[in-house]
Structure 1
Amino acid sequence: MSVTVKWGRERLAFALPQPDTPLAAIRRSLAEYTGLAAFRLIHGGAVLADDAATLRQCRIAEGSVIVLLPTAAAPAAPVVSDRPLQPLGLATEESAVLAAIHTELASVRSSLAPDLNDLLARAQDAPSDKREYLRLGELLLQSLLRLDGIAPERDWHTARKARKDAVKEVQALLDCLDDTIAARKAAGLH
């Protein structure tokens, strides 16, 4: 079961254990990964306060989004672990790594690719805002870095191929943006 945890600007994709797993196990895993001692978890508009409640009782299922909000007792700027998220030791499973890759690529396809296509369509006609080019370039680069942070095991051929294909797809979008910027500069439009 793959879910997304929103933490500020971060989007963490990971696999969850069985539906009868208590929320406390998820909270411990996120605390270890983020370095936060105190935070709230919100799902479906409700604060998840009962750590004894199971994932089923919290209605956390495939594709759920959980928001992680640090509380006042939490450090202002927690240091994110440099290792991939491994809740409950399950990220060692190839399916969890595949879920993280697919989540990142789906995010690029749903939010960045349409913005890029719109920007490129407008680029032919009139001067455009340089900030939009920079924003998209930065977001695509961040996506590449997140994909680079996903490290499938050597013998996980499916996950390694999925990561390689995802990197190629995001890099192609970034290359297209860079080519458009170069062409606009050459034409004196940028």
Structure 2
Amino acid sequence: MVLVENIEDLCLQEQLMNTLISLILDKNAMPTFAEVIDASDCNKNEVFARYTDIETLVFDTVDFITHFIPAKLTEFNAQIKSIDMDNPLALSKAFLAFDNLVYQLFISNAGRALLVIYTQYKNEYRLKHCLSHIKNIIVIETDKIMRQLTVVHNAKTYINRYFDAPIFLNTPYFFISSRENNYFKFTKSAKDN
């Protein structure tokens, strides 16, 4: 990520990232760099002084999202540390709350933008490592929560439901097919894992 040297650069970066995310949400697809510049009302010379293509802007946007989604999962993990692990009802309620949190994160503006970006660039040389990194971070944080809730699980499979879901144009959000058929089971205790 290019270091922001002054507040003007930061404002420009935020404006362009916000514009990119807005256009992604409007189209459920990646806009062109020209569309982002036109929609942002930024000075073109200032934009080109910082960014030369859409991929560089996408990299900064993914970097921003990287701090948002894992932070929410870490926060949830801290909240469930006080749960009675011998109470199946409490564990079940906590897992439902967790499942809902993950769903809400991925239909949030940042989450939806990430899924479109991932679909577009997951095999692109300059971005595939960055996108793989954020996906792995999310899987790791998810795994920590599932282990704490003593779920017989595969965190990677659970998160892949979102990253591998088909993206349709002209739909308000992404349909996650496996969410309605949750096959995750609870063990009797954490010792069973």
TM range (shorter): 0.3 to 0.5
Structure with the higher fraction of residues in strand conformation? 1
Higher helix proportion, which one?
A: 2
